[in-house]
Homo-oligomer: A and B are copies of this chain.
Amino acid sequence: MDKIPEAVMRRLPRYYRHLTGLENNGITRVSSKQLGESLIMTASQIRHDLNFFGGFGQQGYGYNVSELKEKLVHILGIDISRKLVIVGAGNIGTALARHRDFEKEGYKIVGLFDSNKDLIGQEITGIKIYDIDDLADFIEKNGVDIVALTVPAKYAQKIAHISQKAGAKAIWNFAPVDVLLDGVEVENIHLTDSLMTLSFRLSGKQN
């Protein structure tokens, strides 16, 4: 398979999400034109994107919603269950632990980690809080794939490094720093950065 462009890859979850919605509404068929209208993008781009993975559609008909959705499940790799731990049992960390959406897509949160001795041993919706000193060991023993970092900025890089050494394959970083690692996939959620783009766009319009 050809290398998938970054821009295309980033749109795939959106397609998947929309198709799931259509399926839940009992819609069985959809055209790139309809998708484009719903997602505010050109039909051409959608066809172009999907074509990186082969022709799923049919001329004069469009796409079969369920079939296309299933293809996307496979392309995205969400048919493979992934084990995830959350490091940092603060506001964001516990919110993620309580958030049930990830489970639906095959992500299993197998542990929460913190350095606060008062929290260790507690449970959040069935997820146990462990001592952060046991993180490496836990990752190794349980085959953890993804480490979500919801720790203060100054600890993020170090924990990321420990996680990688212990065998984690991906870092989902919520700390407001740029985690630098080689050989590990890093995906950032920078909430403040995101908010700032709104400020920029608002002030540009003199609002």
Residues of A within 8 A of B (CB): 4, 9-10, 12-14, 16-18, 21, 38-40, 75-78, 80, 82, 91-92, 94-96, 98-99, 101-102, 105, 107, 145-146, 153, 169-170, 172, 176-178, 180, 185, 187, 189-204, 207
Asked if B39 and A200 make an inter-chain contact with CB atoms under 8 angstroms apart, the answer reads no
Asked if A180 and B13 make an inter-chain contact with CB atoms under 8 angstroms apart, the answer reads no
Scoring A14, A92, A199, A207 by chain B CB atoms within 10 A of each residue's CB, the highest score goes to A199
User: Given A95-B95, A202-B170, A196–B39 Cβ distance below 8 Å?
Assistant: no
- Kindly state the separation between the CA atoms of A18 and B178 in the bound complex, as whole angstroms: 9
- Kindly state the separation between the CA atoms of A21 and B197 in the bound complex, as whole angstroms: 19
When all copies of this chain in the complex are counted, the total is 2
* Contact for A13 among B13, B189, B193, CB less than 8 A: B193
| Minimum Cβ distance to chain B for residue A16 (Å) | 7
* Contact for A105 among B9, B12, B16, B195, CB less than 8 A: B195
Contacts of A76 in B (CB 8 A): 196, 199-200, 203
Contacts of A82 in B (CB 8 A): 198-199, 202
- Which residue of chain B has the shortest Cβ distance to A185 in the bound complex? B201
- Kindly state the separation between the CA atoms of A10 and B194 in the bound complex, as whole angstroms: 8
Contacts of A18 in B (CB 8 A): 178
- Kindly state the separation between the CA atoms of A24 and B53 in the bound complex, as whole angstroms: 47
| Minimum Cβ distance to chain B for residue A17 (Å) | 6
A-side binding surface: helix, strand, loop or mixed?
helix
| Minimum Cβ distance to chain B for residue A80 (Å) | 6
Asked if B202 and A169 make an inter-chain contact with CB atoms under 8 angstroms apart, the answer reads yes
Asked if B200 and A105 make an inter-chain contact with CB atoms under 8 angstroms apart, the answer reads no
Asked if A200 and B75 make an inter-chain contact with CB atoms under 8 angstroms apart, the answer reads yes
User: Given A91-B95, A94-B95, A105-B195, A12–B189 Cβ distance below 8 Å?
Assistant: no
- Kindly state the separation between the CA atoms of A17 and B177 in the bound complex, as whole angstroms: 8
| Minimum Cβ distance to chain B for residue A33 (Å) | 16
Asked if B98 and A192 make an inter-chain contact with CB atoms under 8 angstroms apart, the answer reads no
| Minimum Cβ distance to chain B for residue A44 (Å) | 18
